[in-house]
Amino acid sequence: MKAFLLKTLLYFFLLICIVLFILQFSSYEVNKNASFKLNSNPRFLIVGSSQSECAYNDSLIPDFKNMSQSGESFFYTYFKTSLILKHNKSVETVFIDFSNIQIHPEMNDWTWDDKHISYRYPIYSSFMNFDDQLLLFKNNPFGFLSTLSFTFKYRFNKIVSNNYNFVNEVGGYLFLDRDKTDSLLNKIDSSQVEQNIIDKKKYSEINLIYLKKIIDLCKANDKKVYLLRSPQHIKSLNLKNDSLYFEILNTRFKNNEFLDFSKVPFTSNEFGDFDHLNYKGAKIYSLWFSQILKDGLLLKNNKQKFINQKINDRDMMILREL
Amino acid sequence: MVFNSLVFLFFFVSFYLLYWFVFNKSFKQQNMILLIGSYFFYGWADWRFLSFLILISVFYFVLGIYLEKSIKYKKHLLYIGLIFGIGILGFFKYYNFFISSFNDLFNSFNLNLSLKTLRIIVPLGISFLTFRLISYIIDVSNQKINSTKDWIVFFNYVSFFPSLLSGPIDKASLLVPQLEIKREFVYSKSVDGLRQILWGLFKKVVIADYLATLTYQIFDNYSSLEGSTLLLGLFLYTFQIYADFSGYSDMAIGLARLLGLTTTKNFAFPLFSQNIADFWRKWHISLTSWLTEYVFTPLSIYFRNYGKIGLILAIVINFTIIGFWHGPSWTYVLFGFLHGCFFIPLILNGTINKRKALSKDNLLPTLRELKNILSTFTLVTFSFVLFISNSLANAYSYLLKIFSLSFFSKPEISFVKVIPLILFFLSVEWIGRNGEHALSNLINLKSRLLRWVFYILIALSLFISQGKQQSFIYFQF
């Protein structure tokens, strides 16, 4: 029995050593060669999840790059931002989309549930340190271990194809061609509203910790950093958390400038759903956003007042007519 | 909790340590922990059916005792047990099939019967479970075995977790006596069990799951694909279903061996079969031997006065039942019926019982062997069209598409990656064909280093191939 157990343990030990070596070696190779160099030399960068991914059509905003991605929590955004800043010295200003959903407990799932970990961990694992990996392992050990195989295959493909460019797979503007807001309006019931009211103790702490890390990272790199809230439909269920959202914003991020665009008026057919502008809304919004940047938004002392003024101007109407 | 998951690995390692190091003083302790482990395993899959498993075990345990004692009501009790077992299987698995078939039949005569189907959740492993219970009461009734008076032994026989969900279907005469004595650790048995698990995992994770990504893509879009692609898809499916099911069986048997128990062999390299009779002696052995003992033998005795016709009838009925066992669909019925018919030439020319054993020491098959292997393989492959189709019409149109002009066109899906994989798989199986399983003769390889390199490479291929986990095909049966 002893001999059997010892040999079995030795076998597993050898196997684990070989697997760790393969993973470590591939991680080193990917890390050494990885490129996050953007095609243009943007001065402005926006990161976040699907709200900003669908809202900012960066082809309409000069010197601006949208690197947001659907379903991405700040845990992964942190590594992405760090690498983009490292490879793109031209970036001066970083906008971080901080919408209501970012405090939702669902952000924990976006960080470590099976679906999200298996997609994002292979991409970013080569750039994570031990503590970051431990965090994922602690919260979803089986998911973490299962994804190691995907990770190896992902890195192996990168190495074999000698293609270390990550830019196209980590974000960009999403042309959302749908318009289902009206049908959603008919479906809202009180239970859905209740489900979206977050208990004060249950918001996603990990997402906020990594948001803070992104802000600190930008500051350490001498970049200007702004939190912003992208346009949302007035009926968005996520807005039901406004009180908790602002409580967090005004306590934990009170030293950061916040730009609220959530009230920029759009019609229902300019939204894909309650939380995402579709391509029609994105076009109007991006042109408008570009204009207010040009008008010196970032130089104003009271930026929110300036935004509100601009919302009330006739600009939006003119843009719609274009 | 499937065998090729990390959850199962953690479960089994913990269970194994408890089994051999904590609850190892007597067979009663071993049985108690085995029962807890089996119920945990079953409950993990679907806890709602745990009570079903317990109730059915209680019923057959009591029935077995009374069946042995009673002389006057022996037959009645046996019938109760049979009707109850078949009834459970019939209700959970076949009720809706019969109802909709009746409705269709009456509709064809313009009679609207409109019997209602039910939303039934089928308990996992029910086909395997009921066959195990039926064999127990028949064997007790025929005095082949004594009924067990130890309820834990019996409950373990019913719910033994390695073979609970997908077989092998162990007969009580094999498993119960082993559960009635203390299991001792045997080094060689355990090592061989591990080897069998490793090869089973390779077959499932590396071969079957990979082939599934190709075959399902083909079957889902068959109406828009060329005949040549469909044909290749069918051939690949034969490898897939073999690797999937025999892989599961290897894991189940290997796990049992790690616990010091021997279960029924389920596959004996059926891809190298010399004819259809040989194929069924090697494919899903526990099911075919079960049906041979409890269906075919009584039937052939019943028809013995009819000579070869009687034998044909017995075989065709037996195989139709085998087909129907797989699921409530006419495609499975036809599958079984066809396989029964494949035996007719062998019966008529009197070669059904002539065993064509493969030469043991040849590195490669002889030309004659190869011809037989290929023809049997092709025959079986074409019959699997009934496995992949959800209706007879679909199966027909799939075959029709194969034999269209597009048969001569270039396949639309690249199979280049598959060829080396299948060649390696077949080579290992061919080399190991004389053993209990493909790797059992590996011990004869003198160099320990080479053996370990092989084991490590297989395990690494598992790590690399881990992808979208496909469920075991035979779970649905």
Residue ranges of E strands in chain A = 44-47, 64-66, 93-97, 224-229, 257-260, 271-273, 276-277
Structure tokens at A242: 């406004």
Q: Cα distance from A11 to chain B (closest Cα, Å)?
A: 8
Q: Cα distance from A119 to chain B (closest Cα, Å)?
A: 12
Q: Cα distance from A152 to chain B (closest Cα, Å)?
A: 7
Closest CA to B291 of B323, B328, B269: B323
Contacts of B455 in chain A (CB under 8 A): 11
Answer whether A149 sits within 8 Å of B190, measured CB to CB: no
Asked if B464 reaches chain A (Cβ–Cβ under 8 Å), the answer is yes
What pLDDT score was predicted for residue B475?
A: 59
Residues B99 and B229 in one domain: no
Residues B215 and B170 in one domain: no
pLDDT at residue B476 above 60? no
Nearest residue, CB atoms, A145 vs list B6, B455, B467: B6
For residue B414, give its domain range: 188-274+356-476
Residues B64 and B199 in one domain: no
User: What is the chain A residue with the closest CA to B9?
Assistant: A142
Query: Which of A2, A11, A117 should we substitute to test contact with B (largest number of B Cβ atoms within 10 Å)?
Result: A11
What pLDDT score was predicted for residue B327?
A: 85
Residues B412 and B385 in one domain: yes
Does residue A284 form part of some domain? yes
For residue A305, give its domain range: 46-100+172-321
* C-beta separation of A71 from A112 below 8 A: no
Asked if B7 reaches chain A (Cβ–Cβ under 8 Å), the answer is yes
User: What is the chain B residue with the closest CA to A4?
Assistant: B187
Structure tokens at B340: 């029964």
A226 vs B286: CA distance, rounded Å: 68
Does residue B287 form part of some domain? no
Angle at B257 between CA B251 and CA B262, to 5 degrees: 105
* C-beta separation of B130 from B325 below 8 A: no
Query: What are B38-93's pLDDT values in tens digits?
Result: 999 999 887 888 999 999 999 999 999 999 998 888 999 999 999 999 999 989 88
Place of tokens 């085995």: B34
Answer whether A146 sits within 8 Å of B6, measured CB to CB: yes
Asked if B466 reaches chain A (Cβ–Cβ under 8 Å), the answer is yes
Contacts of A152 in chain B (CB under 8 A): 463-464
Does residue B348 form part of some domain? no
pLDDT at residue B452 above 70? yes
Does residue B419 form part of some domain? yes
pLDDT at residue B428 above 60? yes
Q: Cα distance from B304 to chain A (closest Cα, Å)?
A: 53
Query: Which of B2, B6, B209 should we substitute to test contact with A (largest number of A Cβ atoms within 10 Å)?
Result: B6
Residues B192 and B244 in one domain: yes
Q: What does DSSP say about strands A64-66 and A44-47: parallel, antiparallel, or unpaired?
A: parallel
Residues B103 and B239 in one domain: no
User: What is the chain A residue with the closest CA to B192?
Assistant: A4
Answer whether A149 sits within 8 Å of B6, measured CB to CB: no
Query: What are B314-326's pLDDT values in tens digits?
Result: 999 999 999 998 8
Residues B48 and B161 in one domain: yes
Q: DSSP of B79-144, one letter per residue?
A: HHHHHHHHHHHIIIIIHHHHHHHHHHHHHHTT----PPP---PPPTTHHHHHHHHHHHHHHHHTTS
B89 vs A176: CA distance, rounded Å: 50
Q: How far is CA A257 from CA A94, A231, A291, in A?
A: 12, 17, 20
Nearest residue, CB atoms, A149 vs list B187, B452, B464: B464
What pLDDT score was predicted for residue A322?
A: 58
Does residue A290 form part of some domain? yes
What pLDDT score was predicted for residue B190?
A: 94
Reduced to 3 states, what is the DSSP secondary structure of residue B361? coil
Residues B244 and B372 in one domain: yes
User: What is the chain A residue with the closest CA to B469?
Assistant: A146
**Taking the model in full, what pTM does it have?**
0.82
The CATH number that applies at residue A280 is 3.40.50
- Structural domain tally of chain B? 2
Q: How confident is the model at residue B96 (pLDDT cuts 50, 70, 90)?
A: confident
CB atoms < 10 A from the CB of B14, how many?
11
Answer whether A18 sits within 8 Å of B190, measured CB to CB: no
**Boundary-marking domain end, from B184, B204, B235:** B184
Please return the burial class of B175, using the count of CB atoms within 10 Å of its CB with bins 0-12, 13-18 and 19+.
Answer: buried
Q: How confident is the model at residue B375 (pLDDT cuts 50, 70, 90)?
A: very high
Does residue B318 form part of some domain? no
Structure tokens at B464: 């690399």
Nearest residue, CB atoms, A19 vs list B7, B187, B463: B463
Contacts of B20 in chain A (CB under 8 A): 1
B261 vs B184: CA distance, rounded Å: 9
Give the number of beta-carbon pairs within 8 Å between A and B. 38
Query: Which of B463, B464, B465, B468 should we substitute to test contact with A (largest number of A Cβ atoms within 10 Å)?
Result: B463
Structure tokens at B358: 């493969």
User: What is the chain A residue with the closest CA to B465?
Assistant: A149
Nearest residue, CB atoms, A15 vs list B20, B185, B459: B459
Does residue B289 form part of some domain? no
Q: Cα distance from A118 to chain B (closest Cα, Å)?
A: 10
Query: Which of A2, A12, A13, A15 should we substitute to test contact with B (largest number of B Cβ atoms within 10 Å)?
Result: A15
Residues B45 and B177 in one domain: yes
pLDDT, mean of residues B412-437? 89
Q: DSSP of B409-475, one letter per residue?
A: SPPSS--TTHHHHHHHHHHHHHHTTTSSSTTGGGGG---HHHHHHHHHHHHHHHHHH--SPPPPGGG
Answer whether B456 sits within 8 Å of A15, measured CB to CB: yes
Compute chain A's Rg from CA coordinates: 22
pLDDT at residue B104 above 90? no
Query: What are A42-96's pLDDT values in tens digits?
Result: 999 999 999 999 999 999 999 999 999 999 999 999 999 999 999 999 999 999 9
**Boundary-marking domain end, from B153, B184, B215:** B184
Answer whether A142 sits within 8 Å of B456, measured CB to CB: no
What CA dihedral angle connects A167, A171, A172 and A174, to 10 degrees?
Answer: 140
Q: Cα distance from A128 to chain B (closest Cα, Å)?
A: 21
Q: What is the mean pLDDT of chain B?
A: 90
Asked if B186 reaches chain A (Cβ–Cβ under 8 Å), the answer is no
Does residue B170 form part of some domain? yes
pLDDT at residue B470 above 90? no
Residues B197 and B212 in one domain: yes
pLDDT, mean of residues B243-272? 95
* C-beta separation of A290 from A57 below 8 A: no
* C-beta separation of A49 from A66 below 8 A: no
Asked if B191 reaches chain A (Cβ–Cβ under 8 Å), the answer is yes
* C-beta separation of A23 from A151 below 8 A: yes
Does residue A70 form part of some domain? yes
- Structural domain tally of chain A? 1
pLDDT, mean of residues B151-165? 94
User: What is the chain A residue with the closest CA to B464?
Assistant: A149
Residues B170 and B269 in one domain: no
pLDDT at residue B140 above 60? yes
Structure tokens at A230: 């992208």
What pLDDT score was predicted for residue A315?
A: 66
Answer whether A14 sits within 8 Å of B456, measured CB to CB: yes
Contacts of B190 in chain A (CB under 8 A): 4
Residues paired with A257 in a beta bridge = A226
Answer whether B456 sits within 8 Å of A150, measured CB to CB: no
B441 vs B433: CA distance, rounded Å: 9
Nearest residue, CB atoms, A149 vs list B185, B456, B466: B466
What pLDDT score was predicted for residue A318?
A: 64
Residues lower than pLDDT 50 in chain A:
none
Q: Return the minimum-mean-pLDDT range out of A132-146, B19-33, B228-242, B358-372.
A: B358-372
Answer whether B465 sits within 8 Å of A149, measured CB to CB: yes
What pLDDT score was predicted for residue A200?
A: 67
Residues B137 and B262 in one domain: no
